[in-house]
Structure 1
Amino acid sequence: MNIVTIRASSLAELFDCPARWEAKHILGMRMPSSGASHLGTAVHAGTAAFDQAVLDGAPITADDAAAAVVDSIHDKDAEVDWEDSDPATAERIALALHTRYCVEIAPRQHYIGVEVKCERLEIPELGLALTGTTDRVRTTEAGAGISDLKTGGRAVGTDGVAVTAGHGPQLGVYELLAEHAMGIPISAPAQIVGMNTGKTAAGQRVGTGEIESPRTALLGTEDQPGLLQHASRLIQSGAFYGNGKSFLCSAKYCPRHATCPYKS
């Protein structure tokens, strides 16, 4: 059985539209990052700089760490489709979210790992090798747990709680990767740190939400296969069917859309 590498961040896309996943992750078809995605990358860069400095014992201010946000937004090597936004607007929103994170979220966290990278976790019996970077590993009364930063227009509900629906399988993979990379058990609930990318201050909410045991659906049981088993069967079969009803079924998000027979 061939070992196929799968990034933790791509698992949801595999089940949403296998044909789109194959195009990006097997065939290597590329397309520009969206403005929203690039904004999220910038927020990740700034918050990581802030949290790493605290972890290193040499804290910096939110303003100091904001330089990483600005540098990321204006990265000349990044290919970005700014159709729905522009760099100036993205920078303003990203800086606002970065500051709110540093002031409202970070002080309540106890991180022991920032941007924890796992080069490769092989599961030979499934023909899969998992790879990716876990945003944060934190300590809690229940033990160590992962935290994953999410930005988006609906990342946080009006109740101030981060939206967790649909993120379980991905966080389950991040737990496996963090355990492998750090060599410690991950036993606390997984945490989503959500940040709303609204254009106004009122719409730029930040908040957290938790998912209990996200690995359960991922690994399955003796009687019920988990999502990794389903992913393995799909990938090893090579039957990458399309999903014309996917919300991302468009030329904006799929590099093979123009020639895909499954498109809506």
Structure 2
Amino acid sequence: MNIVTIRASSLAELFDCPARWEAKHLLGMRSRSSGAAHLGTSIHASTALFDQATMDGAPISADDAAGLFVDTLYNPEHEVDWEDSGPKQVERIGLTLHSRYCADIAPTQDYVGIEVTCERLEISDLGLALTGTTDRIRRVDGELGISDLKSGARAVGSTGVAVTAGHRPQLGVYELLAEFAIGQPLTAPAEIIGLKTGAGPCVGRGEVTGARQALVGDEDNPGLLQMASRLIHGGLFYGNPKSVLCSARYCPRYPTCPYKG
């Protein structure tokens, strides 16, 4: 069986719409990045700089780290579809979230890894190789666990807790990658750090336990990695016209897709 490489961040997209996943990750088709996605990329960059400096024993101020947010926001590596807004319109939101993360989240964390990359975790019997970067590895009561930053208009619920629904499989993949990268077991619950970009931007946290269970399955139920292998190696790249991302903005295959509504 030939080995197909999957980025951890793309697993959810594979199950949402295999046709869109194939277009982007196997056929190399591209669409412009959304403004929301680029805002998230910019916040990731500046908060990582802040946390890395702290972990290295040479802390910098939140304002100093915010400079990287601004640089990344205004100098994207790829074309960005801002629709009716632009970097100036979202700069204030991003700076607010960056500051709140640095003031409210970072001081409570004991990070042991920032942007930890796993070059390749091969699962030969499934014909898959997993790659990706885990946002953070933290120490909690002597145990290690991952922390994943998620930005979006609804990333934090009304109670101030990060929304965790739907993220379990992806967190499970990040746990596998992080364990392989550092060679140590991760036994603490996975954590999502939500960065709400919608009205009233705020930050919050939420925990997820047993994130890997859905990936590996059991005797009666195949795991999601097995299902991913079946889709990819079976060429089952069907479309999902009910996906919320079924549009020309998010899918490079949309103009010629036979499955769209």
State the TM-score, normalized to the length of structure 1: 0.97
Q: 1:220 aligns with which of 217, 220, 244?
A: 217
Contact 2:36–2:152 under 8 Å retained in 1: yes
Deviations 1:162-188 (A, max 9, x none): 000000000000000000111110101
Match of 2:225, SS? helix
Report the counterpart of residue 254 of structure 1 in structure 2. Answer: 251
Residue type of the alignment partner of 1:215: R
Report the counterpart of residue 20 of structure 1 in structure 2. Answer: 20
Deviation of 1:133 after TM superposition, in Å, equals: 0.3
Match of 1:144, SS? strand
Structure 1 gaps, min length 5 = none
Report the counterpart of residue 172 of structure 2 in structure 1. Answer: 172
Contact 1:35–1:84 under 8 Å retained in 2: no
Which runs of structure 2 are paired with 1:170-249 in the superposition (5 Å)?
A: 170-199=170-199, 203-249=200-246
Tell me how far apart the structure 1 counterparts of residues 92 and 117 of structure 2 sit (CA, whole Å): 29
Match of 1:208, SS? strand
Tell me how far apart the structure 2 counterparts of residues 100 and 82 of structure 1 sit (CA, whole Å): 24
Tell me how far apart the structure 2 counterparts of residues 170 and 176 of structure 1 sit (CA, whole Å): 10
Deviation of 1:223 after TM superposition, in Å, equals: 2.8
Tell me how far apart the structure 2 counterparts of residues 254 and 76 of structure 1 sit (CA, whole Å): 20
Tell me how far apart the structure 2 counterparts of residues 11 and 244 of structure 1 sit (CA, whole Å): 18
Structure 1 position 140 matched with structure 2 position 137: no
Report the counterpart of residue 46 of structure 2 in structure 1. Answer: 46
Deviations 1:171-207 (A, max 9, x none): 00000000011111010100000011025xxx11210
Which runs of structure 2 are paired with 1:94-109 in the superposition (5 Å)?
A: 94-109=94-109
Residue identity over aligned pairs, in percent, reads 69
Residue type of the alignment partner of 2:63: D
Aligned length: 261
Tell me how far apart the structure 1 counterparts of residues 130 and 198 of structure 2 sit (CA, whole Å): 33
Deviation of 1:142 after TM superposition, in Å, equals: 5.9
Contact 2:137–2:144 under 8 Å retained in 1: yes
Deviation of 1:213 after TM superposition, in Å, equals: 1.1
Contact 1:18–1:242 under 8 Å retained in 2: yes
Residue type of the alignment partner of 2:102: C
Structure 2 gaps, min length 5 = none
Tell me how far apart the structure 2 counterparts of residues 246 and 129 of structure 1 sit (CA, whole Å): 26
Residue type of the alignment partner of 1:244: P
Contact 2:121–2:177 under 8 Å retained in 1: yes
Tell me how far apart the structure 2 counterparts of residues 216 and 125 of structure 1 sit (CA, whole Å): 18
Match of 1:233, SS? helix
Report the counterpart of residue 123 of structure 2 in structure 1. Answer: 123
Contact 1:73–1:90 under 8 Å retained in 2: no
Tell me how far apart the structure 1 counterparts of residues 228 and 29 of structure 2 sit (CA, whole Å): 20
Contact 2:38–2:76 under 8 Å retained in 1: no
Match of 2:240, SS? coil
Tell me how far apart the structure 1 counterparts of residues 176 and 247 of structure 2 sit (CA, whole Å): 32
Deviations 1:14-57 (A, max 9, x none): 00000000000000001110000000000000000000001111
Residue type of the alignment partner of 1:115: E
Match of 2:134, SS? strand
Deviation of 1:76 after TM superposition, in Å, equals: 4.9
Match of 2:23, SS? helix
